[in-house]
Chains A and B, each alone.
Chain A
Amino acid sequence: MPAVSKGDGMRGLAVFISDIRNCKSKEAEIKRINKELANIRSKFKGDKALDGYSKKKYVCKLLFIFLLGHDIDFGHMEAVNLLSSNKYTEKQIGYLFISVLVNSNSELIRLINNAIKNDLSSRNPTFMCLALHCIANVGSREMAEAFAGEIPRILVAGDTMDSVKQSAALCLLRLYKASPDLVLMGEWTSRVVHLLNDQHMGVVTAAISLITCLSSKNPDEFKTCVSLAVSRLSRIVSSASTDLQDYTYYFVPAPWLSCKLLRLLQCYPPPEDGAVKGRLVECLETILNKAQEPPKSKKVQHSNAKNAILFEAISLIIHYDSEPNLLVRACNQLGQFLQHRETNLRYLALESMCTLASSEFSHEAVKTHIETVINALKTERDVSVRQRAADLLYAMCDRSNAKQIVAEMLSYLETADYSIREEMVLKVAILAEKYAVDYSWYVDTILNLIRIAGDYVSEEVWYRVIQIVINRDDVQGYAAKTVFEALQAPACHENMVKVGGYILGEFGNLIAGDPRSSPLVQFNLLHSKFHLCSVPTRALLLSAYIKFINLFPETKATIQEVLRSDSQIRNSDVELQQRAVEYLKLSSIASTDVLATVLEEMPPFPERESSILAKLKKKKGPGAVSVELEDGKERGELNGGGDRGGDAAIAASNASTPSPSADLLGLRSTAPASGATPSAGSLLVDVFSEAGPSATSAGVNDDGFLSSAPPTVASEDPAPPLPESDELLNKFVCKNNGVLFENQLLQIGIKSEYRQNLGRMYLFYGNKTSVQFVSFNTTVSCPGELQSQLNVQTKTVEPLVEGGAQVQQVINIECLTDFIDAPLLNIKFRYGGALQNISLKLPVTINKFFQPTEMAAADFFQRWKQLSQPQQEAQKIFKASHGMDTEVLKAKLLGLGTALLENVDPNPENYVCAGVIQTKAQQVGCLLRLEPNAQAQMYRLTLRSSKDTVSQRVCDLLAEQF
């Protein structure tokens, strides 16, 4: 057995470490370190050349000092020198120093890379591993540039040692994660996938991490890994506990590799091949069966390893969500764990069941465990377990058990940990709303929520209860009565005062008949809370008071008295003072009719997704940022309705009209997809001026002559469009500039600009040969009904294109009405006597005439609802054919020409866009929603517009872009 004694090999280091440990104070330690640093510095600077051993020792001491938390500003060069030593221990310390103290000093990086390069080509597996580990630990771009090409070769080479392969695989993974653009797998893909078959389990264990990462990014290219992974898994699962020798851990065969295999499979949908699928289902069943077998060891390591595989298998079953039998079995297994004595297992079972609850196949099975889960919520000692129980209750809630679950959660809230209260409150609020059969239960629940956990009730929650009460007249009387009663409590939460003020201000009349809640009693009750409240609440109460004056003329004198008091009308807070002054004036001069109109009951709120739900999603989501936008909007609506409805209306109308000064050119040029050249700036300026750049070119005077076209060319019919012309067209849907076509003779480049319903396109025809093209002629035509939809005008080009030269053509486009087909461009010329005849589709698509429209969430969803007729919507669900990188998606959506609306969709993974298509005949408003599913590598794209043909066309065009 290898055993090492204290710091053998470097006695000086051990002494130094002992010294440091014996220091009685921080000062003593610093003193000792400074002494050592001075010593090392003098050694490094000394005349006498240091031997490898000393260098290693001093570098190691420096590293130790660094790890203690002190800055090290020298020694890098000595560490780099160690890299070229041919002694393992010296090299190792050198690499360790470099890995821990990465320094982006370019001079050193070059030296380091040089040493790594030497070690990689040394054919010494120990040195190769050291070098690979250094790359894997540092993972810098410079290293990727230097080695991304070499490492795949090492990984798949037949004569590479197993341990080197393991390091190479993970080293490559690190480089791929850090600089995916530099790691090109192309030619290696198949050989890397086949590492799943490698005899050495360690190689498979390492390689599978690489394959999983690559698969999740390029599922199609790696899909052959599915069947390989299944057969590997099958072999492991069916092996006896001793078959795998070194890779058996506490009687469990290859637990980590099994987990990794099961996880790799989660990058893919269920296997389509029946045999593969059958084999996999068999594996999953075996894993579930093994969970029921008596343990082969009492050690926790045994059960943990076994259950690690089990939980991963259950994840895969849930991921597939297609095998009812397996789902129910998984659920039963987890049910057993819910009562297990191991806290870890109870926790994991609750967590895993949470995802099972959302499957239609297992939802009912999950529900049977409700009592156990409620018990867990009440009795678990570990807050994180209680949290999981609360999550699961939320997930398993439906109409049948909502009242029970909400009641349990409310009672748990009274003692819940502070850390999870806010989330619990949101969950209760959502469940209460979602499953409210009678709204009096809903109102009771929310008011209870405010009573129990008022501090944690965010604005969304009380906004929402008000929205619902306003929108449902059957609950208004009940709400007024309940809130009136709740306000009787001597100490009630400020949020309760807000809800009370708002609801009594709107619906206090519904309970005013009862002398116990007469108008004056109501007012006095509210006003008794006034002085304890913050400014925003007071402002809200003042609005409630003016509403009271309208509802109950008998309170007018009392309320005017209050408004007139110095504490209101001279309040130091501007907002309060202004309200007091304005309301007082309004109540004195306005006639009853005017007052009734101004202070009319709030109109119903537009129906939309609960803002609470949005908040919960944000809380849970990874990029939990700004809720402010939505908050602000809501505030405007809720408080605004009572007192400053005008502002809110103006704000709303601002938000819904396209900003008049939207700078189309500026906006377009921000799209990263556009390959604008430096000259593009001046080009943009000229685009809409009368004379295009071509007007200045020589030969323009020959227009008249040329337009009569050489007879030889004219006699030839234009060729049919190239088979790939649709594909070429698709390339330009989200960009305006680039190369449209290229063959061995000719290259056609495009630059285009659009504004309103007008566009101008520049075509650049480049002669790639050294021989001139003669009889060069191009025509643009609009086939069929496109003729009446687009107006396209071209200027003729010169008939002669010299070898290596480029000619330019300008095309003006006017969109008369919406269209589907693209104009055809035909190019004919003679090259060395042979006639060339090429037809392409000009990338003029309907989306080019988009004007982006910014709008707020509320407007978006309102419009979305308005466009709800079936023919107004077009939808496609399709597989991603490119990576699903957020920035790329955004760039494409911007390139489409619409405005990309942030913070609108409650799910931050989704994208929504809005724009207006400008045609001469009409403007067509268009809304778009793109829902990526990274897991399944699928998208759902939905388009809604006032015109069915437009929805369909934009949907078709865009679906090809991802």
Chain B
Amino acid sequence: MHIRLHTLNQSIRFILIQNRAGKTRLAKWYMQFDDDEKQKLIEEVHAVVTVRDAKHTNFVEFRNFKIIYRRYAGLYFCICVDVTDNNLAYLEGIHNFVEVLNEYFHNVCELDLVFNFYKVYTVVDEMFLAGEIRETSQTKVLKQLLMLQSLE
């Protein structure tokens, strides 16, 4: 048996969407942090991620965790996970989420996330819950969102 002393309890610690100027467009926390800590993390993530260029990996070590991120136009989508978690699965998890947002908001742009911030939370909860991936089928998620939309 190979000795690997780490927990397999993978989970997302937080999801952040930030623009290049550092404005937060979504912050979803799956760990207990107080407000100061959250602010500090937001700033640190921004500092770590924005200095990297396209030739760099989409992964960056961060404290005892790592950030998996991808940039879409002016927005950085960042997921903080354990260092042992599967990088590519989360990287595509981000893309899957972005594609859903794109369909839902019909060519999503930053302003959609600002004006509909309360709906973005619903999209997140459909796809990620308790720091885990809840649903990966874009069809299923969009169908559910459409149904909720009809309840407005």
Contact = CB atoms under 8 A, between A and B. Distances in A.
A343 interface: yes
Interface stretch (A59-67, A702-710, A861-869): A59-67
A202 B104 contact: no
B81 to A, nearest CB: 12
Given A2-B145, A205-B133, A344-B88, A933 B115 contact: no
Given A93-B118, A307-B88, A385-B57, A212 B133 contact: no
Residue of B87, B129, B147 ringed by the most chain A CB atoms within 10 A: B129
A740 B73 CA distance: 69
Interface in B73-89: 86-89
B9 A216 contact: yes
A167 interface: yes
Given A301-B92, A305-B88, A92 B133 contact: no
A137 B130 CA distance: 6
Contact of A263 (B86, B92, B137): B86
Interface string A172-191: 01100100000000000000
Nearest to B146: A2
Interface residues of A, number: 89
Interface stretch (A4-12, A401-409, A583-591, A608-616): A4-12
A584 B152 CA distance: 91
B71 interface: no
Contacts of A8: 152
Nearest to B61: A384
Interface in A92-116: 92-93, 96, 99
A672 to B, nearest CB: 23
Contact of A312 (B6, B86, B104, B119): B86
A89 B64 contact: no
Interface stretch (A317-325, A652-660, A832-840, A843-851): A317-325
Contact of A246 (B10, B56, B125, B137): B137
Contacts, number: 214
Contacts of B118: 60, 63, 92-93, 96
Interface stretch (A253-261, A598-606, A685-693): A253-261
Nearest to A92: B122
B114 A21 contact: yes
Contact of B2 (A92, A259, A318, A385): A318
B57 A344 contact: yes
Interface size class of B (residues with CB under 8 A): 35 or more
A125 to B, nearest CB: 10
Given A7-B116, A64-B117, A935 B92 contact: no
Tell me if A's interface is mostly helix, strand, loop or mixed. helix
A852 interface: no
A343 B132 contact: no
Contact of B57 (A69, A260, A347): A347
Contacts of B24: 67
B120 to A, nearest CB: 10
A201 interface: yes
A551 interface: no
A672 B89 CA distance: 42
Interface string A311-347: 1100000111110000000000000000000011001
Interface in B16-69: 24, 27, 39, 52, 55-61, 64
Contacts of A9: 152
B130 A201 contact: no
Contacts of A932: 5
Interface of B: 1-11, 24, 27, 39, 52, 55-61, 64, 86-89, 91-93, 95-96, 103-106, 111-112, 114-119, 121-122, 125, 129-140, 142, 144-149, 151-152
Per CB-CB distance, the 7 closest pairs between chain A and chain B, nearest first, are A3-B106, A308-B88, A174-B130, A88-B151, A246-B137, A209-B132, A321-B2
Given A177-B130, A206-B132, 16 more contacts: A6-B111, A17-B114, A126-B148, A163-B135, A166-B135, A201-B137, A202-B135, A212-B9, A216-B7, A247-B136, A319-B1, A343-B55, A348-B88, A384-B60, A934-B7, A936-B1
